[in-house]
Amino acid sequence: MQQPPNYGAYPHPAAPHGHEQPSPGQPRAAYGQPPPAQHPPQHAGQNPQRERIAHVGQQFRTVIQNVERVILGKTDVIARVLAAMCAGGHVLLVDVPGVGKTMLARSIAASIHCSFKRIQFTPDLLPLDITGNSIFNLRKKAFEFVPGPVFANLVLADEINRATPKTQAALLEVMAEGQVTVDGTTHVLPQPFLVIATMNPLEHDGTFPLPAAQLDRFTIRISMGFPPPDAEMRMLDVHMGKDVAIQALAPVLGSEEFLGWQKLLPSIYVAESVKRHAVNVVTAMRADSACLTPPSPRATLMWLRMGMAMAMLEGRDHLLPSDLQRTAVDVLAHRVVVSGQRSGGAYVDYVVRQVPVER
């Protein structure tokens, strides 16, 4: 019987092109140009759908341009966050303080006409402080439910690792179910419901690391990185003005239009060979003894959805293997545990490059 390949013994790539997860404080590679079009089989009546997808691509660029009025030099990060939101997922931003993690979430919420709430996580934060609680109304002589801050379209969970595991689990349960149950009554969250959580990787005192099972709830984990020098110069001009830059942002996309993005996502064509490539990659990781915690089937599904979102937001109606390759580290790196001192991002990048694409 042929032994499965061992992807554990590999040389670290010196500079993976657009895939390696940057360490905190380092800039990420520039957001790649759309790959050349490869059209799927033609079907009658497909033109209206392509027109809708092309319109979504235009809206996507408009949102990015609006956010870039505040967040400068981070087009790739903004695009990945919007793609994860389009895929119906949640985002984990891990980076040092002061690089714009909170401002990015606020700018996206200001660009999309939706409700926004921020939760500052602290060790004394309780689960009911997040989900809401039943309060006794003396006039009505009955308990009334008072919604917590999770009842918003976009929720910023700032420094999520500073809360206790019980409070973290309360938020992550809401992320998975899209509803809150208090005193036996279930309350459905408004749609769309998206969470952007932030973590500071430098400080460990007074923090509670997220277990692997909870990290799996996030579609992608990315870092902001420092802006290029030219972008930082422009940032100084923008934020040293009399007016606060983010207060000048006006919505350029309605919440219903954003829901239309999510509803249009299943119409993206995915060839069998592309699905087979994704399965072959995760199977190779599961067969590798160096990968102590391989990706789950849910990770495979999120990976495909993330690639489909990237394709649709670029105005294409079909998924390419290159869409999977450039999103692999964002989606899979925080889900794998590799033996030794190896980086999860470098490991995922290496395996994706080694597994051939079936034609």
CATH entry 3.40.50.720 includes domain 47-266: no
Quick check: 111 and 251 in contact, CB under 8 A?
yes
pLDDT at 186: 87
pLDDT at 354: 92
Rounded CA-CA distance 143/300 in Å is 43
Show the 3-state SS of 292-303: EECCCHHHHHHH
Residue partners of 52: CB distance under 8 A and separation at least 6: 264
Q: Chain centroid to CA 279: how far?
A: 21
Structure tokens at 208: 């509670």
* Domain boundaries for CATH 1.10.8.80 within the chain: 268-359
Rounded CA-CA distance 73/281 in Å is 32
pLDDT at 99: 86
Question: CB-based burial of residue 183 (10 Å sphere; 0-12 exposed, 13-18 middle, 19+ buried)?
Answer: exposed
**Model-level pTM greater than 0.95?**
no
Structure tokens at 75: 């087009």
* Domain boundaries for CATH 3.40.50.300 within the chain: 47-266
State whether the Cα torsion 348-350-313-270 is positive or negative. Answer: negative
From first to last of its 359 residues, the chain has per-residue pLDDT tens of: 445 455 444 444 434 343 444 444 444 444 444 444 444 555 444 578 889 999 999 999 999 999 998 898 899 999 999 999 999 999 999 988 888 888 899 999 999 998 999 999 999 999 999 999 888 888 888 888 889 999 999 999 999 999 999 998 888 878 888 888 888 888 899 888 999 999 988 777 778 888 877 888 899 999 988 988 888 888 888 777 766 678 888 999 998 999 999 999 999 999 999 999 999 999 999 999 999 989 999 999 999 999 999 999 999 999 999 999 999 999 999 999 898 778 889 999 999 999 998 87
Quick check: 8 and 291 in contact, CB under 8 A?
yes
Work out whether strand 142-147 and strand 132-137 pair parallel, antiparallel, or are unpaired: antiparallel
- In the numeric block, the tokens 């020098």 are attached to 229
CATH entry 1.10.8.80 includes domain 268-359: yes
Structure tokens at 11: 């040389």
Residues linked to residue 92 through DSSP beta bridges, in sequence order: 197, 221
pLDDT at 20: 44
